Structure 1
């Protein structure tokens, strides 16, 4: 129900770009590309945090209220992570651990019993660059949702790129760069990641 209301508001703002720009100015610090301090103070009112979950104090929570952030029961976001839902919802399931120094940029859905080791980047965002007559930072961005299914272990310093779906009971080796969908019950590794073992 709340999601439907949020979507209705988003659609309404699309029809009024001037109001959208004004609200975006009030909510987001454009230079720092993060919510303004007074919005961050209100975060506990609009973020969903499941019972027994924990977000360490050093985590950078770039979670404006116009997108969804949900952390499941008994899940943990460890120190020095950056969670950003400014361009897409970030949904994290139950009993999931987001390791030290991870960066997650939505739209991303992470399942239950997922373990992300250290230094992982999960980004559904790309900068547009095709028009050579414009600077890259003038061309906007595009997003493709990422889905990490239940019971996945991702090794340190792996990178998960836009549009990828990772199946159930998958191991992603340390340092892998995942550019394509991964089926259930495999180990993948390399750059780009390829199946190296069936489970």
Structure 2
């Protein structure tokens, strides 16, 4: 068993390690972690850009990768505290996006402004406890290649968005979207799909 596995499996060691990495009552890594650990742990592709006013709440115990020629714009937040955040090549993360792992984003993806993509949920079932104190539930979000997501959209935990999908502005995606589809609304529903026979985008009944 590796040292990391031993720490994760021992509650006392895990608590000590987290205190060493994260200041009390905060959700971002200590300065020494950002300077001395993260640059060696995480992967950035050639000619990738992370704007100066991006908030990188990334920790060395999970993965963070940014592909070649990808851009994360100002005022965005990336958090891998509860799951990996992997972003492919030539992908744009727009201004003020929030991405909380576990999230896998493919190549040539366009994320407009003010989008929330979160693989994290809190339990709420125990009415004697605030949801903030209940168990964290994480489900992988997958956004495949060539997807375009409009401004102010929300992608919820466990969702997969297929290749070459378009998600309209202001949509809330709570279920999987099949490839080559256009989805809009709250909750988002597919309104068009590409027909490989007719080679046209056709309206769907919903």
**Given the two structures, how large is their TM-score scaled by the length of structure 2?**
0.90
Partner of 2:118: 123
Q: Of the candidates 74, 85, 89, which is equivalent to residue 90 of structure 1? A: 85
Q: CA RMSD in A?
A: 1.2
List gaps (5 residues or longer) in structure 2. 195-206
Partner of 1:33: 27
Change (3 A) 1:190 1:64: same
CA distance in structure 2 between the partners assigned to 1:37 and 1:100 by the alignment: 24
Other structure's SS at 2:187 match: coil
CA distance in structure 2 between the partners assigned to 1:119 and 1:173 by the alignment: 13
**Given the two structures, how large is their TM-score scaled by the length of structure 1?**
0.94
Extract structure 1 runs of 4+ deviating beyond 6 A: none
1:41 to partner: Cα distance:
1.5
Residues 15-41 of structure 1 show CA distances to partners (whole Å, capped at 9, x for unaligned) of 322111101000012312111121112
CA distance in structure 2 between the partners assigned to 1:74 and 1:158 by the alignment: 24
1:132 to partner: Cα distance:
0.3
Please say if 1:45 is aligned against 2:40.
Answer: yes
In the comparison of the two structures, how many residue pairs are matched? 193
More displaced stretch, 23-32 vs 107-116: 23-32
List gaps (5 residues or longer) in structure 1. none
1:88 to partner: Cα distance:
0.1
Please say if 1:16 is aligned against 2:4.
Answer: no
Other structure's SS at 2:190 match: strand
Partner of 1:179: 174
1:10 to partner: Cα distance:
4.0
